[in-house]
Structure 1
């Protein structure tokens, strides 16, 4: 996850949303949430969110918070590895028929949205229609959802409604749709145009947490700052780009912690600490936006943050090989080390007039650029060893990853120089190259203002100097950069993607031509790649599908769409008063699974 369409920030007041106070004006019967208001978890995000309406925006930081507010039909078992889908608000896994084209979900009764003025003092129960409405919002052309591709073309009768809305400017949310039926209050029936072998994963996609139509109607363009869900938490305070405070949703029904150990010592300890507790225990989550790693590290050391991943720069002073140094062990700090199910890459905009296009000379330029980026330097200097080289776009731990695959683009400045010479990128008297037509050649690699990105820029500058290519590094904040990337306005940018679900399609869709503006931020377009992608989606899981993923990876490399760099290692450091912590490969908002001991 990470790409998203930006909304108009003028719709958000600087400090808003004391939902507990607003809701208190209405008589609402409390639910069963056992959370203790005195138990507080304090965490930090490394970049700002962009609001909490995942129809309009999708990035790791908005997702992290939204996951605690909204609930999907399906979710994941907290401890199971590999990641395992389990019922969320659904009573059980769906009934599947018609050769995998019809899914029937039965919604649990007695689930309620958090109290909100939009409901005019009435307890609002979750129904099947709320999911149908949410799916329609993603596909409403007016919303220009960056995640619409997850559902586009799949539901019987939906394409006709979308086409009509595109023509009239109005999406008819009340129009009957053959493939999206709610035969009763708690039953949702979805009929697909064709079998989709990843559809259960789609139903576990975090963006598909149920929204209430009344709330969206009440807040309109302010919906991103007014999330109203059925999850364990609700938004109490929101200072954009600074602070987020969540409090326990009094209507949340709660559950009993009863996850099964995978057999590891870590899991066994979690079970001893947590088994049988009424959840959630944490009553308040305080989230601060701290973009600079050193500042986050200082906050953790000062006990202002309860758990965080170890900043790369601090690793030498904290780790003795792969273990914590004794001084940190003596503080009761524990370490959870995981390889993220994700990849880091630099895209090269296929629509950019300077480096884009499919001609041989443009591809030669992109290939030469890719060949001067030293991934070993990134791992040692920017990541300080906390990363491994990524060979293919599907990372380890995700279905479709081939451990024997090796990327065909390697670090080779000598060959890059020969390639540029061969295709007419001549050096001037100052040693820098021009385009074949003699016009200036200057790359623009967009970045953010933090220490790690400064190291990335230095690595790029060293490599590009070896082949005589000028480079500028425009600096802006993450959210604005992502908006520009979504609109194909950035020439090059460092991106990353972590799994929304553990199947290769979730990564390969980032390069699918029709997904430009919906994940494909490099605006890559290749008929050959697209044909392979379409074929892969229609192929059952197994060796044939995995081979198609390999073929797609080779096509992407042949076109030099990305400079694929690393998969990151995350060393999560946890203070001793936090109980129940285990980093999940898909779930992010883990607060509902934790407890806080008094300290």
Structure 2
């Protein structure tokens, strides 16, 4: 991603945008009635930096958290339903689906307006079906190099032809008719697929397919990532890159009545008692601090500067006893909400890197030995304080396609890893470290971040790699920068996490699909066998047959060792007593519009 020069550029951009942002909130909003109270402020925190709020251009988890409060998709998720269940958002109802399962017809709600912005002059700009046509086209425009383009690539009739034409001419024709993507009238959107796709509705609920206005994108260009204009409950008020984000309630937002149903849990029952019937959003302002260091974040929560946050896992011994909140915190009225995230943590190997890349036996043996040197149990004990479980496969618990009985073929076996390296000619020298088979130096470079968790992971890697005789160096960077470098296949190794964008295994498997290399496939992995299985799987409905293919894909990934898979984390959310309506959703990240404050 951007280095220091780019950071300074972002600050200059922010300075130029500030005036526009101020102008946007000063436009006439007469007659608009909002439940949101500007005196109700939620103080949130992110543990890593965003990289702007244009979800066509990024898959940054923290960018998506904010963008989902600003932009709106056709569908969203029921706030309380578990397992996750889709419901209409800007659509009036769930779509009409043709008998062959290929055509989806959506009818949009009327009187949904984009947030006030100078790009619209003094007029209120209504959301239309054409905005979704434009937004989906923009996702596949080759000029945008979207890491999420694979979500619709090959799916919508005629859309790929438009992409191929753009690649030849160098110009994407946004006005061209696409047979499978049409605004039938102002409020009717029709999407025709090349083949039935049981995951397509989930995809339409993903933030990269939210509606943007063509006027705003044309006016702000690349700066639109820092000047988001959407129809959602909030709009960007203030932005200090890597430090602070402030959202304010969108005065044109239509609002909704909090009317979700409890599923029998005591937590849900309390939410319903507190929130049922309220006009939302209640919160008028959201202030987000970016605090990457766990100890600093924990201190801020203890001082009452943060209203809710997931407990830093390094602080678990301080706050928890046998997994439950200690009495001293309960006495303060703090509540604990525990969930196993639908996510995995892992380390990627760049398959294009001259050291870790390649598909020859000796290169696969090197990656396999490296993965076998990592002590996942040490991570669970030292870093996670028991608040995690070893991930056996790419698809985590809670996501369709997870196989509870699956066991990875890659285990912590440093002695076996050493013998594997010996066999393939990675020879130890007098200092105990190995060379490449051709005698050149063997040095790994692992990109990491400047926080306590990353330091623990680095120490675990160092101990394991020393044990098998591989020298390693750690390059410390910012999370957002590292993410962009990984997307560009510029990192030898990097540790990350993937949280489910939708609750189906395809969302995880697409991370290693060959055509996504450089656009979401951060390992830059290309396997004909894996890709063939992926294409077969996405054509199948949910069920045992598709799940068997996911298992085969996991085995193929392990055979090539494109990833070293680590853990799925247990998250303990701590909530201050004045926060009402909180329940962390497995897919939705932006939850401020569902909350209230009782003080």
Residue 542 (structure 2) pairs with residue 541 (structure 1): yes
Moved more, 159-168 or 215-224: 159-168
The equivalent residue for 2:405 is: 404
The equivalent residue for 1:360 is: 361
List per-residue Cα deviations over 1:465-517 (Å, max 9, x = no partner): 11111000011111111111111111110011000000000001111111112
Change beyond 3 A, Cα 1:496–1:347: same
By how many angstroms is 1:28 displaced? 3.4
- Written as runs of structure 1 = structure 2, the 5 A alignment for 1:213-292 is 213-292=214-293
The equivalent residue for 2:420 is: 419
The equivalent residue for 2:38 is: 37
Question: Any conservation in 2 of the 1:485–1:521 contact (CA below 8 Å)?
Answer: yes
C-alpha distance in 1 between matches for 2:219 and 2:275: 39
Moved more, 29-38 or 186-195: 29-38
C-alpha distance in 1 between matches for 2:451 and 2:298: 14
Moved more, 442-451 or 13-22: 13-22
C-alpha distance in 2 between matches for 1:222 and 1:406: 46
C-alpha distance in 2 between matches for 1:338 and 1:386: 10
The equivalent residue for 1:562 is: 563
The equivalent residue for 1:385 is: 386
List per-residue Cα deviations over 1:534-559 (Å, max 9, x = no partner): 00011121110000000100110111
C-alpha distance in 1 between matches for 2:80 and 2:307: 21
Moved more, 574-583 or 202-211: 202-211
For the aligned residue pairs, the C-alpha RMSD in angstroms reads 1.6
C-alpha distance in 2 between matches for 1:367 and 1:551: 18
Runs of 5+ consecutive residues of structure 2 not aligned to the other structure: none
C-alpha distance in 2 between matches for 1:26 and 1:239: 23
The equivalent residue for 1:201 is: 202
Question: Any conservation in 1 of the 2:140–2:153 contact (CA below 8 Å)?
Answer: yes
Question: Any conservation in 1 of the 2:29–2:251 contact (CA below 8 Å)?
Answer: no
Question: Any conservation in 2 of the 1:19–1:236 contact (CA below 8 Å)?
Answer: no
Structure 1 stretches of 4+ with a deviation exceeding 2 A read 7-21, 23-33
Question: Any conservation in 2 of the 1:228–1:234 contact (CA below 8 Å)?
Answer: yes
Question: Any conservation in 1 of the 2:10–2:241 contact (CA below 8 Å)?
Answer: no
Question: Any conservation in 2 of the 1:408–1:557 contact (CA below 8 Å)?
Answer: yes
Question: Any conservation in 2 of the 1:11–1:221 contact (CA below 8 Å)?
Answer: no
- What secondary structure does 1:190 align onto? strand
By how many angstroms is 1:33 displaced? 2.7
C-alpha distance in 2 between matches for 1:446 and 1:153: 33
Question: Any conservation in 1 of the 2:446–2:473 contact (CA below 8 Å)?
Answer: yes
The equivalent residue for 1:531 is: 532
C-alpha distance in 2 between matches for 1:304 and 1:45: 13
The equivalent residue for 2:586 is: 585
Residue 304 (structure 2) pairs with residue 303 (structure 1): yes
The equivalent residue for 2:510 is: 509
The equivalent residue for 1:458 is: 459
The equivalent residue for 1:440 is: 441
By how many angstroms is 1:464 displaced? 0.7
Change beyond 3 A, Cα 1:417–1:93: same
Change beyond 3 A, Cα 1:18–1:66: farther
- What secondary structure does 2:134 align onto? helix
The equivalent residue for 2:483 is: 482
Moved more, 167-176 or 416-425: 167-176
C-alpha distance in 2 between matches for 1:220 and 1:429: 57
The equivalent residue for 1:47 is: 48
- What secondary structure does 1:154 align onto? coil
By how many angstroms is 1:400 displaced? 0.4
- What secondary structure does 2:100 align onto? helix
Question: Any conservation in 2 of the 1:23–1:116 contact (CA below 8 Å)?
Answer: yes
By how many angstroms is 1:23 displaced? 2.5
By how many angstroms is 1:314 displaced? 1.3
The equivalent residue for 1:316 is: 317
By how many angstroms is 1:159 displaced? 1.5
C-alpha distance in 1 between matches for 2:527 and 2:130: 39
Question: Any conservation in 2 of the 1:343–1:390 contact (CA below 8 Å)?
Answer: yes
By how many angstroms is 1:21 displaced? 3.2
By how many angstroms is 1:108 displaced? 0.3
C-alpha distance in 2 between matches for 1:19 and 1:189: 35
By how many angstroms is 1:53 displaced? 0.8
List per-residue Cα deviations over 1:168-221 (Å, max 9, x = no partner): 221111111111111110000001111112111111112211101111111112
- Written as runs of structure 1 = structure 2, the 5 A alignment for 1:152-171 is 152-171=153-172
Question: Any conservation in 2 of the 1:367–1:560 contact (CA below 8 Å)?
Answer: yes
Question: Any conservation in 1 of the 2:196–2:539 contact (CA below 8 Å)?
Answer: yes
The equivalent residue for 1:372 is: 373
Question: Any conservation in 2 of the 1:31–1:253 contact (CA below 8 Å)?
Answer: no
The equivalent residue for 1:471 is: 472
- What secondary structure does 1:283 align onto? strand
The equivalent residue for 1:495 is: 496
By how many angstroms is 1:560 displaced? 0.8
Q: Report the TM-score when normalising by structure 2.
A: 0.97
List per-residue Cα deviations over 1:60-119 (Å, max 9, x = no partner): 110000000001000000000000001010000001115111100000001111000000
By how many angstroms is 1:20 displaced? 6.4
C-alpha distance in 1 between matches for 2:32 and 2:14: 31
Runs of 5+ consecutive residues of structure 1 not aligned to the other structure: none
C-alpha distance in 1 between matches for 2:10 and 2:423: 52
- What secondary structure does 1:447 align onto? strand
C-alpha distance in 2 between matches for 1:19 and 1:589: 25
By how many angstroms is 1:29 displaced? 3.6
The equivalent residue for 1:428 is: 429
Question: Any conservation in 2 of the 1:18–1:237 contact (CA below 8 Å)?
Answer: no
- What secondary structure does 1:475 align onto? strand
By how many angstroms is 1:161 displaced? 1.3
Residue 575 (structure 2) pairs with residue 574 (structure 1): yes
C-alpha distance in 1 between matches for 2:291 and 2:139: 31
- What secondary structure does 1:496 align onto? strand
The equivalent residue for 1:134 is: 135
Change beyond 3 A, Cα 1:293–1:89: same
By how many angstroms is 1:456 displaced? 0.6
